[in-house]
Copies of this chain bind each other. A is one copy, B any other.
Amino acid sequence: MDSTLNKIDQDFPILDQEVNDEHLVYLDNAATAQRPNQVVNALTHFYQTDNANVHRGVHTLAERATADYEAARRKVQAFINAPEPEEVIFTKGCTDGLNLVASTYGEANIKAGDEIVISIMEHHSNLIPWQQLALKKHATLKYIHLTDDGELDMEEAARLITDKTKIVAVAHASNVMGTVNPVKQLAALAHQHGAVFVGDGAQSVPHMKVDVQDLDVDFYAFSGHKMMGPTGIGILYGKRELLEAMPPYQYGGEMIGFVHQFESTWAELPYKFEAGTQNIAGAVGLGAAVDYLNNIGMDRVQAHEKEIVNYLLPKLEALDGITVYGPQEPAKHTGVIAFNLENLHPHDVATALDMEGVAVRAGHHCAQPLMEYLGLTATARASFYLYNTLADADRLLEALQATKEFFNHGSRETK
């Protein structure tokens, strides 16, 4: 185990607490990550020294706040290797970014009869915007399904993506099955047919090195809170020529050129898409999260999670009466693992694990069409991040064992 990574939990005081008289093991990172002191301190520092509204301001605090805000943008730009800072737009989160693309690019470019291709494993945030756009425009929504191993069926993808396709939108990594999708290949397929590719990076950017130029994605959205940044901040990357051709999304302060009573012109990128006062402190905090990740190195973050999965997955699959969804090979798996225990509803499992201090999620994970496709109503899900350890994996395994015993009348009879 990477020994430096084992020491970082001192940066996360929230992890040092008892829950139901047990030491907390937080395995709900796919829902939201925890924030290191460095990020919280960046927020506090901003509010206590530089806070002001950005741009337009002539006074010193406004200059400092603007510099902080734009520095955060450039940190993110470098982090995802975007060509230019103007292509990095601050949003409220991944959902906001995907809706932005559907409502502006989609609204302007999708006509009746056009096709939009997504996958059956999409999170609702990368599914309903396209579904509703298709309904509104009388376009056709098509789904790429899965291979038996829980991977995207790329043969089907190649059949579905045709010259009728205008948009292909797929998650880089699944928030349920831990699958990593071949986004670069999908983007190339889309481009062959003149379509744009929208990547949902919510579960990838926090966990692996992402290079938007190498992937050649046209749009790419993700959230700050899943990569240890604050809530209420996210990023939409878009290629300049596409962003420039798009109408604005929201109207208000900062996104304008000239406003007359009956017409207006818009600001240059990125401000055209940043109407009103943005989450300035949130951006600064996201910049601090990027610094934190860079300090460790995304390769090490990924290797650390891989090590946990390599250790845990075989042991988990060996449990009696468990079903693990998604790829069964650790090598193909991110730190997100969905599973069910036989005859036990995942909500009961999650409650029981919580009694053991182990925080997992249970439900449809905002992926109802995937659940329906897999013939499930819900699953439990454990998801790991850089501060988790092999000991956490052991705690999960023990707690699952105890849960099974309890509900299989073991504990109940000894009561």
Chain A residues packing against B (C-beta within 8 Å): 13-14, 17, 19-20, 24, 26, 28, 31-32, 34-35, 39-40, 43-44, 47-53, 56-62, 92-96, 98-99, 102, 120, 123-125, 127-129, 131-132, 135, 141, 143, 223, 225, 230-233, 250-254, 256, 258-264, 275-282, 347, 350-351, 353-354, 358-363, 366, 368-369, 372
Cβ B123 vs Cβ A253 within 8 A: yes
Q: With A95-B250, A123-B253, A252-B98 known to touch, is A230 a contact of B60 (CB < 8 Å)?
A: no
Q: List 8 A-B contacts (CB under 8 A).
A: A14-B47, A35-B47, A128-B252, A128-B256, A135-B262, A231-B279, A259-B368, A259-B369
Cβ B62 vs Cβ A125 within 8 A: no
Task: Give chain B nearest CB distance to A171 CB in angstroms.
Answer: 13
Cβ A264 vs Cβ B28 within 8 A: no
**Chain B residue with minimal CB distance to A58?**
B350
Cβ A259 vs Cβ B124 within 8 A: yes
Cβ B354 vs Cβ A58 within 8 A: yes
Question: A350 contacts which chain B residues (CB < 8 A)?
Answer: 58-59
Question: A262 contacts which chain B residues (CB < 8 A)?
Answer: 131, 135, 141
Cβ A51 vs Cβ B32 within 8 A: yes
Cβ A48 vs Cβ B250 within 8 A: no
This chain: copies in complex? 2
Question: A59 contacts which chain B residues (CB < 8 A)?
Answer: 19, 28, 350, 353-354, 358-361
Please measure, in the bound complex, the distance between the C-alpha atom of A28 and the C-alpha atom of B50, giving whole angstroms: 13
Classify the secondary structure of A's interface with B.
Answer: mixed
Please measure, in the bound complex, the distance between the C-alpha atom of A361 and the C-alpha atom of B43, giving whole angstroms: 24
Cβ A253 vs Cβ B366 within 8 A: yes
Cβ B259 vs Cβ A128 within 8 A: yes
Cβ A124 vs Cβ B52 within 8 A: no
Question: A275 contacts which chain B residues (CB < 8 A)?
Answer: 95-96, 99, 125
**Chain B residue with minimal CB distance to A100?**
B250
Cβ B32 vs Cβ A277 within 8 A: yes
Task: Give chain B nearest CB distance to A210 CB in angstroms.
Answer: 19
The answer, among B60, B94, B251, for a CB contact under 8 Å with A124, is: B251
Task: Give chain B nearest CB distance to A108 CB in angstroms.
Answer: 13
Q: With A259-B127, A276-B95 known to touch, is A347 a contact of B233 (CB < 8 Å)?
A: no
Cβ A96 vs Cβ B276 within 8 A: yes
Cβ A276 vs Cβ B230 within 8 A: no
Task: Give chain B nearest CB distance to A358 CB in angstroms.
Answer: 8
**Chain B residue with minimal CB distance to A97?**
B276
Q: With A62-B28, A95-B252, A368-B258 known to touch, is A363 a contact of B56 (CB < 8 Å)?
A: yes
**Chain B residue with minimal CB distance to A352?**
B58
Cβ A28 vs Cβ B14 within 8 A: no
Cβ B28 vs Cβ A281 within 8 A: no
Task: Give chain B nearest CB distance to A252 CB in angstroms.
Answer: 3
**Chain B residue with minimal CB distance to A362?**
B58
Q: With A47-B35, A252-B124, A262-B141 known to touch, is A61 a contact of B359 (CB < 8 Å)?
A: yes
